[in-house]
Structure 1
Amino acid sequence: MSTPPPTSAEEPWPVRTVARKIQAWIDRLGAVWVEGQLTQVTARPGSQTAFLVLRDPAADVSLGLTAPTSMVRGTVPPLTEGARVVVHGKPSYFFGRGTLSLRVDEIRPVGVGELLARIERLRALLGAEGLFDPGRKRRPPRLPRCVGLITSRASAAEHDVVTVATSRWPAVRFRTVNTPTQGTQAVPEILDALGALDRDPDVDVIVLARGGGSVEDLLPFSDEALCRGVAACRTPVVSAIGHEPDTPLVDHVADVRAATPTDAAKRIVPDLSEETAHLAQLRRRAHRALHAWVEREDARIAALRRRPVLADPLGPVSAREDAVATRRARARQVLEAGLVAREADVRHLRASLTALGPAATLARGYAIVQHGGAVDAPVLRSAETPSPGDALRVRLADGAVHAVVAQDDE
């Protein structure tokens, strides 16, 4: 195929040329299998072609379909808006209107068994990623300031949640966002409401509420995009979808699963009468505990006051006073006896010294001779020591006399 000449403002292509080239390029595309949810089924009587709109359940994306009217009417079960289908077709470009559609040659309704099988596969995938892990779940506040509620308009679920919650705790406030809870628009609008409530700083907990229904009706709450949106919320999410047997995947991802919308209302706020009774019980217990403590401490103080040291503080001192006086007298007696004994010893020692001293010896007629005339002259101990003419000092009992050594004539 030859390359077309480039276009310019002076040499533009006409619309038909562009449409033909787009048609030629799309005609080269092969057939594909596509899954989605029907949002429009138009099969007019007498027309050979039926027009359908297939929507992605998790995104705001739609695709037009064309199919033989006989095939659409002959499908069992009959095709209706909201049905999940798998179609086989080839992209087709309508030259006259410049629109793209999928020319379908086979339509297969997705049965309940296939839907359940896909939900189980998604359950295994999300579980492997840890979205069901109890460790990541957060506990809602015991008394939320404001409760975000996502449910359908004027539904029984909204009535049950609001009525039961306000009867349990009249001061509770709700910020309600009404969205479809089934059909093609459910998942995108619920995700938008979830994001808005999660960003609201006043909302402390978010409740997803819906009444019971078939597997197809509850299918949006097993959608992968919604499950991941709930897991990404920073605000705790309570799931109250259907009745007790209904367990869509969002129940496992949410922080709290409630069996019914009524059960969700009981889980998000406490019961005022129960809390009042519990508070009264705590006050009575505190009153009894305080009185018991006061009585116990009063008895302890009374016991301390009955002790002798506090009942008669001077009694022990008086009792010890006589003992101190007795011990003082005994100490005085012992001290005096010791002094008398020491005095006698001194007298005995004095007498002994007097009897043995040089003065007593001199008094008996003895004398001490010193070699020299000085008082401190050495004592003469031998007659051979002095020489003739040496001075001597003779000490007697009553004084001292001086002498001179004479010459020995012999």
Structure 2
Amino acid sequence: MDFQNTREFAQQLDAQDELSHYRNEFIFPKVNGKQVIYFTGNSLGLQPKRTKAYVDEVMNDWANLAVEGHFYADKPWWDYQERFCQPLSEIVGAKPSEVSVMNTLTVNLHLLMVSFYKPTPKKYKIICEEKAFPSDQYMFQSQVHFHGLNPEDTIVEIKRREGEHNIRLEDVLAKIDEVGDELALVLIGGVNYYTGQVFDIKTITEAGHKYGAYVGWDLAHAAGNIELKLNEWKVDFAAWCSYKYMNSGPGNASGYFVHESHHNDLDLPRFAGWWGHNKERRFLMEPNFDPARNAEGWQISNLPILSLAPYLASVHMFAEVGMQKLIKKRNLITAYLEYILHEIDKEVDSTFEIITPANQEERACQLSVFLHGEGRSLFDYLMKNGVITDWREPNVIRLAPVPLYTSFEDMYEFGQVLKTGIQSLH
């Protein structure tokens, strides 16, 4: 498509957008009395208007039924999490039996590593990407220390080549071959939080399995953003937060995946709890743990229903829309944003370097922009003028045009604010 940097062209794209009406499903903050341009759905998604009804339902059931809400609420609390299985399975490309919700993201990754990181004297190394999100780095270090190992010998980082911003697939595969039979686990972020690079999950998973390693994925920036086929790709396990692209609210519950091939393996170690016990026998209060033969066998505690209610509102919205429509708009609106950035770059005495891969197969709805010649003052200007974006050191802003609620006119308007900001600061 031949883009144009005009408001009329952007409005035309919005008129043709089959998802445009979903914008009205969300509540936007305001700056200076005007609705913001919101680019930080990769940190915290906007609140869907329908969320309040889902939370109010739980509050009303609690008020009117008290403990009986566990069994007699319209959505009984004791099996509330089961309502996530079908819509989540469609979002991440799994079978309903392979997914559920519990805890929060890093907690779930720790718990899944109990099952899938089982180091031996000869097979103990973990491969991850350089500059993984700090929480993942801390998790790796603490897990390795827990097993009495040295992180410097155990954790193998795949590094970027000098002068490059992204990790090459061939370097990932080469590192897996290099570690070889010493490899116990590959655990990488499906989408790198800093650059927005999308990794080839299928190919990397196959490569790790070739050496008998488990392969898991942190899908914090991937779930609800990219096409996933976790079952087909034979990913061993994965977890994701729900508050970014799935708009469930700050710090909310995490989704997780365990491949069906592991459901009946009772030799896999796990930290057990009441809610992971055989559902049909849970209330018999038996002394010995009998895990459910699906992903729920990794549950520990009963679920925080008030936290799950906003998440359920969101996954129902995803079920209405479907990932294919989201991905179609994501590709077009991200391409338009990229075009706007290049156009503004031509008009001002500045240099923007988009460090997110240009190849659509290696990116989703985030563009990370290195602002050569600009400083924090430009970010501050954007924020004060109603463009909510994200700053990362040393000089990068992350822009995430989420297809459910950002418009093409937002992209055009952002370009105008950006141009004015640069001109006013020089």
The interval holding the TM-score normalised by the smaller chain is: under 0.3
Looking at CA atoms only, which structure, 1 or 2, has the larger radius of gyration? Answer: 1
Normalising by the residue count of structure 1, what TM-score does the alignment of the two structures yield? Answer: 0.25
Which of the pair is proportionally richer in strand?
1
